[in-house]
Amino acid sequence: MAFRRGLATLLLVSFLFGFLSSFEEGDLSLNYYSESCPRAEDIVKEEVAKLYHKHGNTAVSWVRNLFHDCMVKSCDASLLLKTTNSIISEQTSQRSFGMRNFKYITTIKDALERECPKTVSCADIVALSAREGVLWLGGPYIPMKTGRRDSKESHVDMVENSIPNHNESISLVLSRFQSVGIDTEGTVALLGAHSVGRVHCVNLVGRLYPTIDPTIDPACGEYLRGRCPTPNPDPNEVSYSRNDRETPMVIDNMYYQNLLKNRGLLLVDQQLTSDPTTSPFVELMAANNSYFHERFASALLLLSENNPLTIDQGEIRKDCRFVNAD
């Protein structure tokens, strides 16, 4: 009898434990919308494809968006909120400089709202569009989960302490990524996203004037000075250089090969080869594109699952630019 009561208690306790822990991790799942909006992931895929064919650089933006949304507290689409009476947009932070194509998030969201009103979160649009963008840029398929919910606030005051600056030290960069569970190798892999897109002169002139940083390959330094002819570019100035002149629209290991030739654009890029904790990974990835893609995929997956809002937290925004009125 006592034995059976003990067993019953044990079963009850383990049931409760399982129940509670399923709440804790039952947050994100693969194909979360399979019942509530079965075409959700297809719709994102179709819209991202259409946008890519109109403006190829939208794909680049979707990748950067994931970093800037997920790194700042949570993958909660706080990045997408515009400035209103009660909100200061994260997009106004100096760290968001150069971010573009936010208006096309509305295109994706509108297509989802037509099919399933108020069902698919903007935070999941950030994740799924990045997944599709990476594919259009020749990168790996990343099996991202869904079920994130949208924040009701901006975290503008946290942006500068979460997203490193272009000239930050390696140790600070590594500790920022460590704080979201991404190790040294994962950090080296993620920066491989800088194999696509562009850098504006405001982020380059520190390495070009008054003298060219002696660690830059001299021919590359001259080229960059040609792109950025003045030491004090107007912040509204549109001059920029492409990250990777050989394969500018492909997420590939050319980034690491360029670093080994001292052709990294940002200080944070080039430091990956000069620092002994990161340089072995640069060499591995420069030598093997498949290896880079594997490490990139698993690090981006980790980033995409950083501290999401789930179940009854936050809301499902109707318009990704504003919190719901009700």
Tell me the catalytic residues.
68
Residue with tokens 């590939």: 252
On whether 41 is known to bind a ligand per the annotation, the reply is no
- Asked if residue 290 binds ligand NAG (CB under 6 A), the reply is yes
Cβ proximity to ligand NAG, 112 vs 228, nearer residue? 228
Among 121, 184, 203, 257, which residue interacts with ligand HEM (rule: CB under 6 A)? 203
**Residue 233: other Cβ atoms inside 10 A:** 18
On whether 294 is known to bind a ligand per the annotation, the reply is no
- Asked if residue 178 binds ligand NAG (CB under 6 A), the reply is no
- Asked if residue 167 binds ligand NAG (CB under 6 A), the reply is yes
Q: How far apart are CA 181 and CA 301, in angstroms?
A: 11
* Inter-residue contact 191 to 301 (CB < 8 Å): no
On whether 69 is known to bind a ligand per the annotation, the reply is yes
- Asked if residue 294 binds ligand NAG (CB under 6 A), the reply is yes
* Inter-residue contact 180 to 303 (CB < 8 Å): yes
Where does this chain touch ligand HEM (CB under 6 A) — which range of 3-11, 22-30, 61-69, 207-215? Answer: 61-69
Please report, as residue ranges, which positions from 28 to 67 form the binding site for ligand NAG (by CB under 6 A).
none
Q: Which of 84, 78, 83, 52 is nearest to 65 (CA)?
A: 78
SS3 of 290, please? helix
Please report, as residue ranges, which positions from 92 to 111 form the binding site for ligand HEM (by CB under 6 A).
97-98, 100
Largest CA distance in the chain: 87
On whether 183 is known to bind a ligand per the annotation, the reply is no
How near is the Cβ of 100 to ligand HEM at its closest, in Å? 5
- Asked if residue 136 binds ligand HEM (CB under 6 A), the reply is no
SS3 of 216, please? coil
Please report, as residue ranges, which positions from 213 to 272 form the binding site for ligand HEM (by CB under 6 A).
266, 268
On whether 171 is known to bind a ligand per the annotation, the reply is no
Among 6, 38, 143, 206, which residue interacts with ligand NAG (rule: CB under 6 A)? 206
Instruction: Report DSSP letters for 114-168, one per residue.
Output: HHSTTTS-HHHHHHHHHHHHHHHTT-------B--BB-SS--GGGHHHHSPPTT-
> What is the binding site for ligand NAG (CB under 6 A)?
165, 167, 206, 288, 290-291, 294
